[in-house]
Amino acid sequence: MKKSKSLLSVFLLSSFFISITFNSCTKDDDPIVKKGETKVISGSITQDTTWSAVDTIKISGFVYVKSGATLTIEAGTLIKGSVGTKATLIIERGGKINAVGTVAKPIVFTSDKAAGSRSYGDWGGIVLCGKAKNNKSGGEGTAEGGIGSLYGGTDDSDNSGKLQYVRIEFGGIPLATTTNSEINGLTLYSVGSATTIDHVQVSYSGDDSFEWFGGTVNCKNLVAYRSWDDDFDTDNGYTGAVQFAVSLRDPAQADQSGSNSFESDNDADGSSNTPVTKPIFSNISIFGPISVSGVIYNSQYKRSMHIRRSSQLSVYNSVFSGFPIGLFIDGSQGNSQTMASSNELQIENTVLSGMATFFVSDFEKTYFKTSNRMNDTLATNDLLKVNDAFNLSAPNFTPKTDSPLLNRASFTNTRLSANAFLQQVTFIGAFGSENWTTGWTNFDPQNTQY
């Protein structure tokens, strides 16, 4: 996310109390059927609170779940961010969220604009602040964008709650004109490993879809859909694991700072501060703006992987397709190239396909194609033999029965085999025969009548 935005000014929160107003809300043409009231929430939540699926919740401004309080959100609840207020849900250190949806009844966070008029960054997004380690000076940081909440500590097994079967739509917003003042769709600050995050879709984020600032939280079944900037951004000593994640990009939309799928830094200075950013990503599927050669795409699209500033990111059993550049291990600041050469930064059993250019330089080419890393490049995306991955409105990410992505996964690397969180499967990419996005995701939120 590290860039300057100039479109929106700073939002100053003027009160820290809960304000609730009621309005009737009914509709009968959506899986989330509302027969109750609209409750407008602002300020701070200081005691255990439940948001009912019967009601529509509207958040206005910064809403803080304070230390000691748990916010429970029932399956099927609809939460709307109030446009123009920088509406953001912030779980502070010591606070918890218990948002557990189901396939049939996902929890939906979306814009309060009418269908057809929603857009990137209509509201803020969701922010979790935990007590796990990061590599900020003193081990503590302040959330970006004027939120003001502190994050970090020494408890790597900290628990910020649960996010399961959750959609986050049209969030991600710059809060000031200065650098590092954005909110992503889902921002995870020093979130600990006892936190549960799986089956989360971020759509039309005005910044990154997912960003981790330190922490140890493990995540599964993530969907980044038509984001503005990066899909998966890792910083400040994040050391968790992510498995089964997919992204799909809109060729027409990219950020002025340059949009990547993966962006990874140890910190902004490229230092060797510890803990070093060293997450594991396994079974990832990236479908970029270039479905076939000749497609017109936004010139601000850059790379499927930009690893830099001393990051030691590791990627296994994954597929990256359809970006202007496949891999850039950036040695201009920090030691990421040195870490790649010493095999601390690892990319193994991974396919790059349909890139305009596969590598920035011979360094990346030599590194990626070293035979014991078992990587491969495919000239065109049709060679992946995936059903309909680039379909923007109804994608099918599963491989065909004769796809080269099947029956070639490897979990012999000790970083994988020793990690109890990771499921050992036979396929590379995020999908085998099961389409785990079915039922709870939405690939047309613009026209959904919430």
Q: What is the pLDDT of residue 32?
A: 56
In a domain, 425, yes or no: yes
Q: How many CA atoms lie within 13 A of 419 on its CB side?
A: 22
Residues 294 and 203 in one domain: no
Least confidently predicted of 31-35, 102-106, 365-369: 31-35
Residues 186 and 326 in one domain: no
Q: Is the dihedral of CA 264, 269, 271, 275 positive or negative?
A: negative
Residues 299 and 390 in one domain: yes
In a domain, 450, yes or no: no
In a domain, 2, yes or no: no
Cα(first)–Cα(last) distance of the chain, in Å?
Answer: 30
Residues 393 and 315 in one domain: yes
pLDDT, mean of residues 39-64:
98
Q: What is the pLDDT of residue 36?
A: 80
Residues 159 and 270 in one domain: no
Q: Which of 170, 198, 217 is the last residue of a domain?
A: 217
- 247, amino acid identity: S
- The more confidently predicted of residues 86 and 36 is 86
pLDDT tens-digit profile of 22-47? Answer: 443 333 344 555 568 899 999 999 99
Q: C-alpha distances in angstroms, 388 versus 112, 392, 442?
A: 31, 9, 16
Q: Which of 217, 232, 263 is the last residue of a domain?
A: 217
Residues 439 and 341 in one domain: yes
Domain limits for position 122: 15-217
Biggest CA pair distance of the chain: 63
CB 239 within 8 A of CB 277: yes
pLDDT, mean of residues 308-328:
98
Residues 263 and 313 in one domain: yes
Query: What number of residues does the chain have?
Result: 450
SS3 154: coil
Name 14's Cβ contacts closer than 8 Å, sequence gap at least 6.
Answer: none
Least confidently predicted of 31-40, 227-236, 271-280: 31-40
The structural domain count of the chain equals 2
Q: Residue 14: pLDDT above 70?
A: no
In a domain, 8, yes or no: no
Residues 89 and 182 in one domain: yes
pLDDT tens-digit profile of 371-397? Answer: 999 999 999 999 999 999 999 999 999
CA-CA distance, 212 to 190, in Å (whole number)? 8
In a domain, 237, yes or no: no
Q: What is the pLDDT of residue 182?
A: 79
Average pLDDT, the chain: 93
- The more confidently predicted of residues 12 and 324 is 324
Least confidently predicted of 9-13, 77-81, 280-284, 296-300: 9-13
Residues 271 and 176 in one domain: no
pLDDT, mean of residues 293-301:
97
CB 49 within 8 A of CB 73: no
In a domain, 9, yes or no: no
CA-CA distance, 185 to 169, in Å (whole number)? 8
Structure tokens at 138: 């003193």
CA-CA distance, 183 to 382, in Å (whole number)? 35
